[in-house]
Structure formats: structure tokens, C-alpha cells
């Protein structure tokens, strides 16, 4: 009986592994060049950690278990709670600002869909200890830095930016009580995913007053920060939130990515813990789920027992990203093909032992090298080797850049024949074995 993989998980055969490594290597490269340091944590945590951040309903969305001591644990569905716990543990020893990134493997017990899996990798970048809007801009810039690097243009993706603080101030301004905000956020977050009449019906359940609902609807379709200014009466919270947004957009313009960025008050981010600027990156066509999302979460460390410290961050999963890159042909053009540097062959079986010796010496210098497993060498000296033509065909199959041929030249003058396989018409030259090995180091 063949056992299939668990639904919503992936097997990474070498071609898929090459894509995964290319994506993750790019995430790490961009993180480092933008000044972030890497961290990681355990793959499971106390279940309570996730209940603190997302409430008891989170239990249905993750894989939970009990250890032998009866403790309730969960395989991590995200890494932000781990980040908060780790920072709180050493809060007085960590230099500010804390700029960390991570690429954890995460698991969520949900129904698999296109771009949404039960097991996936996620790139997280966070800045902790900075309350200025420039930190929000930095997170968005780092996100767009990666997307530009892999070839996605502003015709492919768009960063949609809004403010949870502004939304909260608008809702309070029209008379929505504080205790109803979180449930209303969840409804507003679904606006782009629902037919207009369905959304309006859900909004009417939460906000039966038609005047309040009209102001909220007008806010949700505002095309610019200036449009919002004409919709609502100013108070300090609204003025401060609008100023923060203007600083973010101005900073992103100075950094050269404004053509990727738009104001979209429909970006709400359903989780209650966001407190300021929020954003999501979507494909322009709008056929896929959000490629990534994030925002400011100034209360999270306090919720985990630490002090109130400002923080902002972003998470980008690999599943939607890979689909988009494949659709744009960017994986095929950029993911490196397997490349073997040297394939060591012999023109006669009497040189079989020399293949092993030279292969080992090539590898010692840090270069990749392989040989044909049809070789046979007994301690008594009996040896066998496939024909040279068969060995060369095997080298071509393994995409070897160069073939090292051990033949009569080696017996007569200690010279090797080096065949360059990267050209349409392969060329070859003879070089002394000592010189060849010396050139490799």
C-alpha cells in the first residue's frame, strides 16, 4: 500500500527544493542588507501563547497536543508570539532598535486552498523599540526590496497601505462603542472578499444605523488620505493617524518605491492586535490571496507580560509567492539549475584508482566533483570502468561544467585533459595535475 503525504503538505523533490532554497535565500539576503538579524525559536510552544494573542478560537486553527506532563502545547502557526516571548525574556539586555527576521516552518490546521497550506514557510521581519512611522516604512520597503529583486514590477504587485488607528478613530467618531470595534474589524476585513450585497448585509447587522454605515462605507472606498480628511471631523487621533500615513508614503517615495504603493482603507487586517499602520501586498490582477501582510502592534509585548514597547512587522508565506512567480515565468528564468563543477573520468580502466584520488583532492579544495558508479576496484588491483563515451554522457546528464579525463597523458607526463562542457562545441586542454589542483585553491 502506498502512503500519500498528508493533505495540505508538500514533498520537496530536488527541483522543488531548489525553488524553496532560492526563495528562502533571497529572503535572508534582503533581510541582512536591510539591517535585520536572524533568530528562531522552538517548533512548538505552550498553547496559552497563541490564546493570549488570538483568543480561544485559535485552538481550532492549529495542531495542539499534550505532553507527558499534561501541558497543552501547539505546533507554531506563526512566530510573532515566540518573538514577543523571547524579547520579553531579555528586554533589558537587548540593544534598541531590535531588528530581527526569521524564516520559520509553520503549521495551521485549516482547509487547504490555492495558496493556503497546512504547512508552509514564512518570512518575518520585525522592528521593535521604534515608535516613528519611518519604522513602518522600513518594513514595507524591505518587503518591496525582495519583490523587486525577484523581478516583480508595479504592474505585478501592489502594496496596499492603511491605518488601523485611523479606522478606529473614524469608527469612534461616528459613535461605534469601543467594545464593538474588534467584531466590526472582522467584518470590514472581509469586504474585498465578498459580493457587495453580502458585505452590506453583514455591516448592517453590526451597524444598524444607516448614517453610521454610510460614513463607514465612504471611508472604506476612499482613494487617498486627502479624501479621508474631507469625510470625517478631525480629532487628535485622526490627525495623528493621517500624519503617520503621510510620513510613511513620503518616506517610501524618497526610497524609490512609491510606484508600488497605494492608500487602501479596505486593508483592515482581521487580528485585533494591530494598533497603527497596516498593509498587504496583492497581485495587481487580484486572482490570488495576499502575498504578505503586516503592520504596527504596539501592545503585543505588554500582552505577553512585558512592558509596552512599540513594534511593527510583516509576514510573507512562500505558497502564494511561489504561485505568482511561476505564473510570471520568474522561477524558470531565475532558479539555478543543478550544476556540477567537475566530473572525473578515465580513458582506461587502469586509471580507476586515480579517479578516486583526484576526485577527493578536488573536493578538498571546496569544489564539487563526481564520477561514474560503474567503476570497480578491488584491493588486489582488479579494476573495471565504463567506456569513456559512457562516462562523458553521464557527465552531460549531471550538467557538469568540466570533465577531467585521466588517460595516457597522465601516465606519460602526469597531465590531465580538461574538457570544457559549457560551450556548444566543447574544447579541451592538457594541464599538469599539480598545476590543476593548485589552480583550484
CATH number, domain containing residue 412: 3.40.50.800
State the Cα–Cα distance between residues 343 and 353, nearest whole angstrom.
15
In a shared domain, residues 232 and 90: yes
In a shared domain, residues 161 and 142: yes
Q: Where does a domain end: 287, 307, 334?
A: 334
pLDDT for 415 = 95
Indicate whether 430 pLDDT > 90.
yes
In a shared domain, residues 230 and 97: yes
**Does 301 map to a domain?**
yes
Please provide residue 236's backbone torsions phi and psi, each rounded to the nearest 5 degrees. -60, -40
**Does 49 map to a domain?**
no
Q: How many domains does the chain have?
A: 2
Domain boundaries, position 304: 14-41+79-334
pLDDT for 56 = 67
Count of beta carbons in the 10 Å neighbourhood of residue 347: 18
In a shared domain, residues 108 and 188: yes
State the Cα–Cα distance between residues 321 and 331, nearest whole angstrom.
11
Lowest mean pLDDT among 45-49, 172-176, 287-291: 172-176
Give the CATH number for residue 289.
Answer: 3.30.930.10
In a shared domain, residues 325 and 411: no
pTM: 0.92
pLDDT band at residue 229 under the 50/70/90 scheme: confident
In a shared domain, residues 352 and 225: no
In a shared domain, residues 435 and 409: yes
In a shared domain, residues 299 and 411: no
pLDDT band at residue 160 under the 50/70/90 scheme: very high
Q: Where does a domain end: 303, 334, 365?
A: 334
pLDDT tens by residue, 123-150: 999 999 999 999 999 999 999 999 999 9
In a shared domain, residues 359 and 329: no
Burial of 31 (0-12, 13-18, 19+ CB in 10 A): buried
In a shared domain, residues 323 and 279: yes
pLDDT for 318 = 98
Q: Residue 210: in which H helix or E strand, if any?
A: helix 210-220
**Does 60 map to a domain?**
no
- What's the mean pLDDT in 66-89? 95
Amino acid at each position: 500500500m502506498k502512503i500519500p503525504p498528508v493533505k495540505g503538505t508538500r514533498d520537496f523533490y530536488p527541483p522543488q527544493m531548489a525553488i524553496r532554497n532560492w526563495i528562502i535565500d533571497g529572503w535572508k539576503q534582503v533581510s541582512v542588507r536591510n539591517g535585520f538579524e536572524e533568530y528562531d525559536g522552538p517548533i512548538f510552544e505552550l498553547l496559552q501563547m497563541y490564546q493570549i494573542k488570538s483568543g480561544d478560537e485559535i485552538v481550532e486553527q492549529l495542531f495542539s497536543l499534550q505532553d507527558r506532563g499534561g501541558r497543552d502545547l501547539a505546533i507554531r502557526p506563526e512566530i510573532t508570539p515566540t518573538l514577543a516571548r523571547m524579547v520579553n525574556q531579555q528586554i533589558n539586555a537587548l540593544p534598541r532598535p531590535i531588528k530581527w527576521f526569521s524564516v520559520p516552518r509553520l503549521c495551521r490546521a485549516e482547509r487547504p486552498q490555492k495558496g493556503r497550506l497546512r504547512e508552509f514557510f514564512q518570512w518575518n521581519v520585525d522592528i521593535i523599540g521604534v515608535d516613528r512611522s519611518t519604522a513602518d516604512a522600513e518594513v514595507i520597503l524591505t518587503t518591496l526590496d525582495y519583490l523587486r529583486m525577484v523581478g516583480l514590477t508595479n504592474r505585478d504587485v501592489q502594496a496596499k497601505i492603511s491605518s488601523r488607528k485611523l479606522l478606529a478613530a473614524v469608527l469612534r467618531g461616528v459613535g461605534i462603542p469601543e467594545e464593538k470595534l474588534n467584531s466590526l474589524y472582522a467584518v470590514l476585513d472581509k469586504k474585498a472578499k465578498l459580493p457587495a450585497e453580502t458585505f452590506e448585509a453583514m455591516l448592517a447587522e453590526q451597524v444598524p444605523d444607516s448614517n453610521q454605515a454610510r460614513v463607514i462605507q465612504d471611508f472604506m472606498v476612499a482613494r487617498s488620505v486627502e479624501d479621508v480628511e474631507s469625510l470625517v471631523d478631525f480629532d487628535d487621533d485622526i490627525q495623528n493617524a493621517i500624519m503617520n500615513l503621510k510620513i510613511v508614503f513620503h518616506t517610501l517615495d524618497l526610497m524609490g518605491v512609491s510606484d508600488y504603493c497605494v492608500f487602501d482603507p479596505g486593508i483592515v487586517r482581521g487580528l485585533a492586535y494591530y494598533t497603527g499602520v497596516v498593509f498587504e501586498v496583492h497581485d495587481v490582477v487580484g486572482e490570488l490571496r495576499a502575498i504578505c501582510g503586516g503592520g504596527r502592534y504596539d501592545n503585543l509585548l505588554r500582552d505577553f507580560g512585558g512592558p509596552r514597547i512599540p513594534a511593527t512587522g510583516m509576514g510573507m508565506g512562500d505558497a502564494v509567492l511561489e504561485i505568482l512567480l511561476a505564473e510570471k515565468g520568474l522561477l524558470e528564468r531565475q532558479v539555478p539549475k543543478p550544476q556540477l563543477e567537475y566530473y572525473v573520468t578515465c580513458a582506461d580502466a587502469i586509471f580507476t584508482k586515480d579517479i578516486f584520488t583526484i576526485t577527493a583532492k578536488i573536493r578538498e579544495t571546496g569544489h564539487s566533483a563526481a564520477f561514474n558508479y560503474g567503476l570497480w576496484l578491488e584491493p588486489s588491483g582488479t579494476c573495471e570502468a565504463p567506456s569513456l563515451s559512457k562516462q562523458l554522457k553521464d557527465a552531460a546528464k549531471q550538467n557538469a561544467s568540466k570533465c577531467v579525463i585521466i588517460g595516457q597523458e597522465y601516465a606519460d607526463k602526469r597531465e590531465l585533459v580538461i574538457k570544457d562542457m559549457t560551450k556548444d562545441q566543447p574544447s579541451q586542454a592538457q594541464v599538469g595535475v599539480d598545476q590543476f589542483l593548485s589552480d583550484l585553491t
